[in-house]
Amino acid sequence: MLKPIQKLVQFSSSKNGSKIILSIWIAIVILLSFLAPSSKDFSVSSKEGSVKNDTPSAIAKQVLKKQFPSKEGLTGLLVFHRDNKITNEDRNKISEVSKWLSSNDKPKELEGAVPFHQLPKPAQDQMFSKDGTTLLLNFNLKEGADSHAANETIKAINDKLKEMKLGSLQVEITGPAGISSDTITIFKNADFVLMLGTIALIFVILLVIYRSPLLAVIPLVIAAIVYQVVDRVLGMGGKNDWFVLDSSAISIMLVLLFAVLTDYSLFIFSRYREELKKFPSQYSAMGEAIHHVSEPILFSGGTVLLSVLTLFATVFEPYNHFAPVFSVAMVFILLAGLTLIPSMFAIMGRKAFWPFVPKATEQLNKKQGFWKKVSKQVVKHPSIITGILMVTLLAGALNTLSIHYSFNIMKSFPDELSSRKGFELLEKYYPAGQLAPVTVILTKDSEITIDDKFSNNVQTLENKLNSIKGVDSITQGVTVNMKQVPRGMISEDKKAVKLQLVLKDNPYDTSALETVKQLRNQDKRMLKDSGFPADHYQLHYDGQTAEQLDIRAMNQRDMIILFSFVTILITIMLGIQTRSILMPILMMSTILLSFVATLGFGWIIFHNILGFDSISYRLPVYAFVFMVALGVDYNIMLVSRIKEEAAHVSWKEAVGNGVALTGGVISSAGIILAATFAVLMTQPLQELFLFGMTMALGVIMDTFLVRGMLLPSILVLLKKGTPQMTVSTDQKVIGE
């Protein structure tokens, strides 16, 4: 280990150094509390776009904004419904709503709405569903209005609807504005609830496992100190525009911070307790404990940091914006693992373990615990254990081939949310694509001549667009008589024409994405066949479905980049730590197998037991980054102890001792880590529920099966081909 790090950890565990380190951390917390804002003050919801803003849908949006400038922002959809038929009295009420939406009393962020109250009855009738039970009324927020503005606006609309007393007429608000508003509603107070749940769960588990109130409290106090520092540093970054603070990343970071710091606390105080039975001085005991544990913490924290840093290589905004939040958090988590945790426990000394205070004259515990029994079986029957676990994990891994992924954001929302209920009404009584139509923009590099030929060509293009499987209708077109051209369909410079296309399918479903993909693939041929030479004309597609198609492409690209970078970087780090070539490859292989098997077994639970027909496309990425990075921690702790034991006993015995001596602390850490991620299952968003469950399942499998049995069994089998790992010359060996 680097000498500066050695000096730092030894200083942190010394009598004077521990007090200085603790004072510095507390001083930083106090200073930042006065000088820096909280991260929540500058957190935003990342848009589902590219950080480079160069996707086809992003380019289309830029063209649309340039050629058809508008003050309109997010679109909202008011869906009125009655099971039988909307009555004349209902129609009058709807007209009142429409009149208010167009009045000066409307919410300040509302730009305008379809003037239903001003339309003649025949025009109004065309807006109803075919059976007359449902009416769709569009409105738009002002340009630039964010999700918080959408939430306030829709809250004001709902208040007005209650005031108007519409009776039994059902009204739901959906569309992009409704979805954005409900997203804010879902996460309102979520961080506070998440923090309380995480703290309570960690406290209870630590209390049950170690039966010491101080051992349950100290890690939480440490985590609270570090969280205050991280929160304020992120707040400074957000305030000064150093980076973007994603609200979801901040929520998950909170869980990660408490879980990882608790894990590091477990690693340190478990070894500290051993050393307190050998050394009369609490500071000498901590010095010896941190000497053995600091290297694993340094490398485990380093691998997690490298893993989250790879997120900077992604182009999808939600992934890329996770990078700064988790990178900053991991820097301080790692620093706390090497300084704050040993300082706190060194100062507390034996009192931290009350009422089971370890004494210097006390013999080390030799009783046959669970992991001692497991270690004996691992050493005795490595082939059987390896065979059974490999077959089981491979079966789970193969099941990943049957997973269905969804790009439908609505499926992640709770059933009772207005945006979901409104969309389900739309899907039932209107073409599903009405939720988010596709805007088609025909552009020319010079001014368009409006004549009969152009009009006929546009009509041909419309027919060809309409003939594509998955397209329901073209809602706007162009006529040769300029007086009859719908307002806004021709750009002012006459270089662009705008059409609107409604899909048959849910705009977020895979089938809708494939329709837009087909449109893009055939655009040059359609232009040519319609009489528009492709060297002068272009077609652009804007809208939610086009954006989701680009998201799918970005997700595939980012998965390849992330999985490759993380795997290579962690393998290199493990190679440096173990000073071996075979060992890191073996460790990384078991980690990857554990991850893939978790996805497979998770899909069995989600699909066959819970009844989900698909999972979010983001789940594999988030699960991979966190499961692989955190799984390395337990690998390093196990192999470091085996490495230490191998210096004075046979390799086979060293593996058995490593499992027996680290099994308890690793399993305790795994239970706490799994439980903290399981807290996410309390969140109402399906995506977080499934992510929390996947992580909990993966951590438990990794802790008990892969790290506790599979890897040690393979190490025993490969004992003849595995070179004895080099033990550094400064490594002290303590007999157990």
What the block records as the tokens of 317 is 């905004």
Position 22 scores a pLDDT of 94
The SS3 assignment for 491 reads coil
Q: What is the mean pLDDT of residues 602-616?
A: 90
SS3 for 596-614 is HHHHHHHHHHHHHHCCCCC
The dihedral of CA 119, 120, 121, 124: what is its sign? negative
B/e letters for 643-654, b = 16+ CB within 10 Å, e = fewer, are bbbbeeeebeeb
- Name the least confident of 110-119, 144-153, 701-710: 144-153
Confidence of residue 365 (pLDDT cuts 50, 70, 90): low
Percentage of the chain lying above the pLDDT 90 cut: 28
Residue 225, pLDDT > 90, answer: yes
Residue 725, pLDDT > 60, answer: no
Counting beta carbons within 10 angstroms of the beta carbon of residue 467, is it exposed (0 to 12), middle (13 to 18) or buried (19 or more)? exposed
Query: Please, are residues 336 and 229 in contact by the beta-carbon 8 Å criterion?
Result: no
Residues 139 and 175: their CA atoms lie apart, in Å, by 10
Find the angle CA(529)-CA(534)-CA(538) to the nearest 5 degrees.
105
Q: What is the mean pLDDT of residues 377-405?
A: 92
Confidence of residue 553 (pLDDT cuts 50, 70, 90): very high
- What domains sit in the chain, N to C, each tagged with a CATH number? 74-187 (3.30.70), 189-364 (1.20.1640.10), 367-419+553-736 (1.20.1640.10), 437-542 (3.30.70.1320)
Position 481 scores a pLDDT of 42
Position 735 scores a pLDDT of 28
Residues linked to residue 134 through DSSP beta bridges, in sequence order: 81
User: DSSP per residue over 513-549, as a string?
Assistant: HHHHHHHHHTHHHHHHHTT--TTTEEEEEESHHHHHH
Which of the pair, 363 or 510, is modelled with greater confidence?
510
Q: Which H or E run contains 401?
A: none
Residue 713, pLDDT > 80, answer: yes
Position 476 scores a pLDDT of 56
Residue 362, pLDDT > 80, answer: no
Beta strands in 603-692 (DSSP E): 615-616
Q: What is the mean pLDDT of residues 535-554?
A: 91
Residue 234, pLDDT > 90, answer: yes
Confidence of residue 479 (pLDDT cuts 50, 70, 90): very low
The conformation of residue 173, written as its DSSP 8-state character, comes to E
Query: Please, are residues 340 and 599 in contact by the beta-carbon 8 Å criterion?
Result: no
- Name the least confident of 200-204, 372-376, 406-410, 508-512: 406-410
Position 278 scores a pLDDT of 86
Q: What is the mean pLDDT of residues 525-539?
A: 88
Q: What is the mean pLDDT of residues 428-433?
A: 81
Position 296 scores a pLDDT of 83
Percentage of the chain lying above the pLDDT 70 cut: 93
Residues linked to residue 440 through DSSP beta bridges, in sequence order: 499, 541
Residue 523, pLDDT > 70, answer: yes
Confidence of residue 730 (pLDDT cuts 50, 70, 90): very low
Residues linked to residue 498 through DSSP beta bridges, in sequence order: 441
What the block records as the tokens of 108 is 């300040």
The conformation of residue 105, written as its DSSP 8-state character, comes to T
Residues 512 and 505: their CA atoms lie apart, in Å, by 6
Position 519 scores a pLDDT of 93
Q: What is the mean pLDDT of residues 276-284?
A: 88
Confidence of residue 595 (pLDDT cuts 50, 70, 90): very high
- Name the least confident of 114-118, 594-598, 723-727: 723-727
What the block records as the tokens of 681 is 């299952």
Position 424 scores a pLDDT of 85
pLDDT in tens, 4-16: 888 888 898 899 9
The dihedral of CA 504, 509, 512, 516: what is its sign? positive
Position 32 scores a pLDDT of 93
Confidence of residue 731 (pLDDT cuts 50, 70, 90): very low
Residues 617 and 407: their CA atoms lie apart, in Å, by 6
The SS3 assignment for 49 reads coil
Residue 482, pLDDT > 60, answer: no
Beta strands in 413-536 (DSSP E): 438-444, 471-474, 496-503
Q: What is the mean pLDDT of residues 35-62?
A: 85
- Name the least confident of 101-110, 402-411, 512-521: 402-411
Position 451 scores a pLDDT of 81
pLDDT in tens, 635-686: 888 888 888 888 888 888 888 888 988 888 888 888 888 888 888 888 777 8
Q: What are phi and psi of 575, to 5 degrees?
A: -65, -40
Residues 570 and 406: their CA atoms lie apart, in Å, by 30
The pLDDT mean for the chain works out to 85
Confidence of residue 369 (pLDDT cuts 50, 70, 90): confident
Residues 317 and 314: their CA atoms lie apart, in Å, by 8
